[in-house]
């Protein structure tokens, strides 16, 4: 069993049990008081710091309040248990059932066709990415606009997730992807059920009850269009110098379509012209739909309002209200925990969308670029192992497994090795974005060969290939008719990737991963014939 | 090989506008030019095509530079760029900025950038219009109010009290939302 919990690759949430606190009135009251105090303290920090700088340090100060003594006559408050459990008034055991519905995306290059899913996780150096079914539903909606996960391209998704996976660690030690999972602190060595973060484990699926609550809140709130009070707010013509004044309203509104809500609100505060350009109710109706695509319960409600014709909604006010009511944040305790979690997960899925579509539409170079050709130019003559009479030295073959340095950074490479009946290497194929680059025999078209494979994650470099060579006849010299019977591929994390993931990369330069490919599993004695280390350095 | 057809375009918004010679394949990025050409005979192609947009010759020259460089690109935005099935239901639409596009936009000052947006909107050059709008949005994305003012060079004579009153108007909605949240 691992020393670390593994978390959902999509929402970063737990895949197993979480703790729910007791329903004793004194515990409920106490937990809520602690959460309320911390929430108020965080609000004060945010209002002072703007975007919450040094928030973490100050949060630590807030935590100290959890260790207060119990008052006389109250049930004992165990900070270690009750202080690390969710509010039973906000979530229930039934409501957590979705956390147990898990699926997994894995890859084992040596599994052919239909197979038990365990084969994809076992005997494979490649990571497998677990996630909740509910999260997969949201990801499917974001990436395909449909609810059918069959529309997802699993290869592209796996490649996208692999690119976001810390390449120097193997799942599950890496725990989750290199994504922003929102303001959730529960993810640690083990999942911490932090009171105030109940939204992070709330089922994000749409329900009839949720739609009903949303409808009730909108009706109660009204959101009618009141008299335009702006004139009374600024009773004069302001003098502004704003380059946006050069642009017509339609262009400004088009620019704002590319902005998420918080950036739009920032620019409206910054620019009076932008503020004036967005005062149309229709703009906010469109923006509401654009910025909250995850709020599927809302669209039928808006349709009802439009058709009812009683009064037009103030979409700006409605947007601001919804933005606030569903903002995933510490201490959220309204009726919209599920919406807040869906919004958070949708945001993570949007981060995944970029690499997913990049892999989906990937078109690597058909030919090696000039830089690669120059870097691999070799002045030495090709040497043939069997100098048969009549053999043409110029007939030697050359294959570029990588066509550019960029593609090594962008896409994973599957390496396939083909072995003949005598267990000797007869072919080698590098596959990048389904483009096959073959040297020697291609196992795909030669059924008599056996295949072994490995995957080189994007960003990794092969720094060394060790060849294990054996002669056909043990009585003859090893230089006569040698054959490669096994090989070891050694990869290393390149500096730019280390720099990205580890600011302290200097201490990790020695880390490397060795991947061995050997169909006959013959080692030991082969070490005597070891040819190497021989490096096939594909990049500087 | 068919001879390259050259079109002549002149901005008549102000007198004395420069006559630009643009390859037909490049000019057809413009929906407006395409529409005008439908009514043209081959004999009319020698004539100057008038356009009228409040943009300097320098700004138009940049637009034609982009059109000429991109003449072989598809004339619509259906180039496999990322977007959902319902255009309004996605808020991420990362268009592809090629290296050349990046250099092109990076080299522009804000006046030239806005002129390009105005001209691209008028001439109905959707890819350029979308790239330009996204470029401006990228300048704003992730910035604080103060940073946006600095980047866009915005100044206003609102005093702190007036600023507060504008913000209070927004805050009013937020306070009400907190009440509703408890319902």
pLDDT given at position A124:
54
Query: Do A347 and A401 share a domain, yes or no?
Result: no
Structure tokens at A34: 């602690």
pLDDT given at position A414:
87
* 3-state DSSP of B118-179: HHHHHHCCHHHHHHHHHHHHHHHCCCCHHHHHHHHCCEECCCHHHHHHHHHHHHHHHHHHHH
Query: Burial level of B45, CB count in 10 A (0-12/13-18/19+)?
Result: middle
Region A144-170 average pLDDT: 82
Pick from A51-65, A163-177, A336-350, A433-447 the range whose average pLDDT is largest: A336-350
Query: Do A151 and A236 share a domain, yes or no?
Result: no
Q: Is the pLDDT of residue A161 over 70?
A: yes
d(CA A437, CA A452): 16
Residues in B touching A256 (Cβ below 8 Å): 137
Query: Do A85 and A221 share a domain, yes or no?
Result: no
Query: Do A447 and A495 share a domain, yes or no?
Result: yes
Where are the domains positioned within chain B?
A: 6-157
| Within a domain: A184 | yes
Residue carrying the six token digits 């609100």: A265
Task: Tell me which residue of A114, A165, A44 sits closest to A501, measured CA to CA.
Answer: A165
**If you measure CA to CA, which chain B residue comes closest to A221?**
B180
Range with the lowest mean pLDDT among A210-214, A277-281, B97-101, B160-164?
Answer: B160-164
pLDDT given at position B135:
94
Residues in B touching A140 (Cβ below 8 Å): none
CB pair distance less than 8 Å for A247 and B174:
no
CB pair distance less than 8 Å for B110 and A242:
no
Pick from A220-234, A377-391, B20-34, B146-160 the range whose average pLDDT is largest: B20-34
pLDDT given at position A473:
63
d(CA A271, CA A231): 17
Structure tokens at B85: 């099935």
Supply the mean pLDDT for chain B. 79
CB pair distance less than 8 Å for B152 and A243:
yes
pLDDT given at position A478:
53
The band of B99, judged by pLDDT with boundaries at 50, 70 and 90, is confident
Query: Do A158 and A41 share a domain, yes or no?
Result: yes
Region A411-435 average pLDDT: 85
Query: Do A86 and A142 share a domain, yes or no?
Result: yes
Cβ distance A193 to A22 under 8 Å? Answer: no
**If you measure CA to CA, which chain B residue comes closest to A363?**
B80
Which residues are A241's β-sheet partners? Answer: B155
Range with the lowest mean pLDDT among A141-155, A253-267, B2-16, B127-141?
Answer: B2-16
Region A276-301 average pLDDT: 88
Pick B14 or A383 by higher pLDDT. Answer: B14
Mutate to test the interface with A, among B148, B149, B161 (most CBs of A within 10 A): B148
**If you measure CA to CA, which chain B residue comes closest to A274?**
B154
User: Would the CA dihedral through B50, B54, B57, B59 be positive or negative?
Assistant: negative
| Within a domain: A356 | yes
Mutate to test the interface with B, among A46, A226, A233, A258 (most CBs of B within 10 A): A258
pLDDT given at position A303:
79
pLDDT given at position B92:
46
| Within a domain: A389 | no
- Which of B91, B129, B180 faces A221 most closely, judged by CB atoms? B180
pLDDT given at position A390:
55
Residue A245 DSSP label: G
CB pair distance less than 8 Å for A239 and B157:
yes
**If you measure CA to CA, which chain A residue comes closest to B167?**
A269
A245 to chain B, minimum CA–CA distance in Å? 10
| Within a domain: A525 | no
pLDDT given at position A113:
54
CB pair distance less than 8 Å for A275 and B166:
yes
pLDDT given at position A389:
55
The band of A164, judged by pLDDT with boundaries at 50, 70 and 90, is confident
Query: Do A182 and A315 share a domain, yes or no?
Result: no
Question: pLDDT by residue (tens digit) across A340-387?
Answer: 999 999 999 999 998 898 888 877 788 888 888 888 777 776 666 555
d(CA B29, CA B126): 8
Residues in B touching A243 (Cβ below 8 Å): 110-111, 114, 152-154
CB pair distance less than 8 Å for A286 and B88:
yes
Task: Tell me which residue of A330, A342, A329 sits closest to A98, measured CA to CA.
Answer: A342
pLDDT given at position A125:
62
Output helix, strand, coil percentages for chain B, rounded to the nearest 5.
55, 10, 35
Q: Is the pLDDT of residue B158 over 90?
A: no
Question: pLDDT by residue (tens digit) across A197-235?
Answer: 999 999 999 999 999 999 888 888 777 665 554 545 566
Query: Do A151 and A190 share a domain, yes or no?
Result: yes
Structure tokens at A106: 């894995």
Region A393-421 average pLDDT: 82
Query: Do A182 and A284 share a domain, yes or no?
Result: no
A127 to chain B, minimum CA–CA distance in Å? 27
Residues in A touching B167 (Cβ below 8 Å): 269
Region B59-72 average pLDDT: 92
d(CA A55, CA A35): 16
Supply the mean pLDDT for chain A. 76
Query: Do A135 and A82 share a domain, yes or no?
Result: yes
Structure tokens at A418: 């083909």
DSSP-derived pairing of the beta strands B19-23 and A530-534: unpaired
Query: Do A245 and A327 share a domain, yes or no?
Result: yes
Structure tokens at B35: 């529409």
Q: Is the pLDDT of residue A533 over 80?
A: no
d(CA A493, CA A506): 12
- Which of B82, B89, B145 faces A353 most closely, judged by CB atoms? B82
Query: Do A173 and A309 share a domain, yes or no?
Result: no
The band of A447, judged by pLDDT with boundaries at 50, 70 and 90, is confident
Residues in A touching B97 (Cβ below 8 Å): none
- Which of B89, B114, B138 faces A247 most closely, judged by CB atoms? B114
| Within a domain: A117 | yes
pLDDT given at position A47:
66
pLDDT given at position A366:
84
pLDDT given at position A112:
58
Residues in B touching A241 (Cβ below 8 Å): 153-156
pLDDT given at position B138:
92
Residues in A touching B74 (Cβ below 8 Å): none
d(CA B58, CA B49): 18
| Within a domain: A63 | no
Residues in A touching B148 (Cβ below 8 Å): 266-267, 270-271
CB pair distance less than 8 Å for A230 and B169:
yes
Q: Is the pLDDT of residue B173 over 90?
A: no
Pick A503 or B73 by higher pLDDT. Answer: B73
**If you measure CA to CA, which chain B residue comes closest to A322?**
B177
- Which of A247, A259, A270 faces B118 most closely, judged by CB atoms? A247
Q: Is the pLDDT of residue A66 over 70?
A: no
B14 to chain A, minimum CA–CA distance in Å? 17
Residues in A touching B85 (Cβ below 8 Å): 144-146
* Other Cβ atoms closer than 10 A to B98: 12
Q: What is the CA radius of gyration of chain B?
A: 22
Full residue range of the structural domain in which residue A402 is found? 370-381+396-473+481-500+512-517
Percent of chain B residues topping a pLDDT of 70: 74
The helix/strand/coil state of A488 is strand
Pick from A64-73, A419-428, B121-130, B174-183 the range whose average pLDDT is largest: B121-130
Looking at the structure of chain A, the number of domains it has is: 3
Region A436-446 average pLDDT: 85
Question: pLDDT by residue (tens digit) across A466-475?
Answer: 888 776 666 6
| Within a domain: A216 | yes
Task: Tell me which residue of A380, A415, A411 sits closest to A401, measured CA to CA.
Answer: A415
CATH number of B6-157: 3.30.710.10, 3.30.390.30, 3.40.50.10860, 3.40.50.720? 3.30.710.10
CB pair distance less than 8 Å for B148 and A271:
yes
Cβ distance A257 to A290 under 8 Å? Answer: yes
Question: pLDDT by residue (tens digit) across A293-344?
Answer: 999 998 888 877 766 666 678 888 889 899 999 999 999 988 999 999 999 9
CB pair distance less than 8 Å for B152 and A221:
no
Distance of CA A397 to the CA centre of its chain: 40
**If you measure CA to CA, which chain B residue comes closest to A220?**
B180
């Amino acid at each position: 069993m691992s020393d670390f919990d593994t978390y959902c690759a999509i929402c970063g949430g737990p895949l197993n049990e979480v703790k729910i606190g007791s329903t004793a009135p004194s515990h409920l009251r106490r937990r809520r008081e602690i959460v309320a105090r911390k929430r108020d303290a965080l609000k004060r920090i945010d209002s002072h710091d703007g975007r919450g700088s040094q928030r973490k340090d100050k949060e630590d100060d807030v935590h100290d309040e959890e260790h207060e003594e119990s008052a006389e006559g109250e049930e004992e408050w165990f900070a270690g248990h009750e202080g690390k459990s969710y509010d039973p008034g906000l979530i229930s055991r039934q409501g957590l059932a979705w956390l147990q519905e898990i699926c997994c995306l894995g890859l084992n290059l040596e599994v052919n066709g239909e197979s038990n899913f365990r084969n994809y996780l076992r005997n494979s150096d490649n990571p497998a990415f677990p996630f909740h079914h509910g999260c997969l539903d949201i990801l499917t909606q974001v990436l395909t606009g449909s609810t059918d996960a069959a529309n997802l391209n699993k290869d592209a998704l796996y490649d996208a997730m692999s690119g976001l996976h810390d390449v120097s660690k193997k799942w599950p030690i890496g725990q989750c992807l290199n994504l922003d999972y929102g303001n959730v602190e529960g993810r640690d060595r083990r999942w911490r059920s932090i009171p105030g973060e109940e939204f992070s484990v709330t089922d994000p699926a749409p329900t009839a009850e949720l739609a009903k609550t949303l409808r009730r809140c909108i009706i109660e709130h009204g959101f009618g269009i009141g008299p335009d009070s702006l004139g009374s707010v600024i009773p004069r013509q302001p003098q502004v110098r704003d380059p946006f004044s050069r642009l017509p309203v339609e262009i400004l509104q088009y620019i704002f379509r590319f902005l998420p809500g918080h950036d739009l609100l920032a620019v409206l505060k910054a620019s009076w012209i932008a503020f004036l350009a967005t005062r149309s109710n229709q703009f906010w109706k469109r923006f509401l739909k654009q910025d909250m695509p995850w709020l599927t319960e809302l669209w039928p409600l808006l349709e009802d309002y439009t058709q009812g014709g009683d009064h037009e909604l103030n979409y700006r006010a409605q947007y601001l209200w919804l933005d606030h009511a569903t903002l995933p944040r510490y201490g959220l305790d309204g009726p919209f925990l599920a919406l807040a979690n869906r919004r958070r997960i949708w945001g993570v899925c949007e981060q995944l969308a970029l690499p997913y579509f990049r892999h989906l539409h990937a078109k690597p170079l058909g030919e090696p670029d000039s830089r690669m050709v120059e870097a691999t130019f070799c002045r030495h003559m090709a040497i043939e192992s069997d100098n048969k009479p009549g053999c043409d030295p110029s007939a030697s073959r050359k294959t570029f497994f990588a066509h550019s340095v960029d593609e090594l950074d962008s896409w994973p490479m599957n390496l396939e090795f083909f072995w003949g009946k005598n267990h000797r290497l007869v072919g080698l194929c590098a596959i990048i974005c389904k483009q096959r680059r073959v040297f020697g025999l291609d196992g795909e078209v030669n059924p008599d060969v056996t295949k072994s494979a490995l995957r080189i994650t994007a960003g990794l470099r092969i720094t060394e290939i060790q060849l294990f060579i054996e002669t056909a006849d043990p009585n003859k010299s090893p230089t006569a008719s040698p054959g490669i019977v096994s090989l070891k591929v050694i990869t290393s994390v390149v500096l730019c990737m280390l720099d990205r993931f580890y600011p302290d990369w200097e201490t990790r330069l020695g880390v490397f991963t060795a991947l061995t490919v050997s169909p006959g599993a013959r080692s030991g004695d082969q070490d005597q014939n070891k040819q190497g280390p021989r490096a096939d350095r594909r990049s500087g | 090989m068919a001879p390259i057809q050259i079109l002549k375009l002149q901005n008549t918004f102000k007198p004395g506008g420069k006559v630009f010679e643009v390859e037909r394949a490049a000019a057809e990025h413009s929906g407006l030019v395409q529409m005008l050409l439908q009514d043209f005979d081959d004999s009319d192609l020698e004539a100057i095509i008038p356009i009228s947009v409040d943009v300097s010759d320098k700004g138009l020259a940049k637009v034609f530079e982009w059109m000429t460089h991109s003449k072989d690109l598809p004339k619509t935005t259906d180039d496999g760029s990322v977007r959902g099935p319902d255009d309004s239901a996605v808020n991420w639409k990362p268009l592809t900025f090629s290296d050349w596009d990046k250099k092109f936009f990076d080299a522009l000052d804000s006046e030239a950038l806005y002129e390009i947006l105005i001209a691209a909107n008028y001439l109905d050059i959707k890819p350029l219009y979308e790239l330009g709008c996204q470029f401006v949005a990228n300048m704003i994305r992730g910035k604080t109010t103060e940073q946006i003012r600095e980047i866009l060079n915005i100044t206003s004579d609102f005093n702190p009290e007036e600023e507060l009153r504008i913000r209070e108007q927004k805050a009013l909605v937020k306070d009400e939302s907190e009440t509703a949240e408890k319902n």
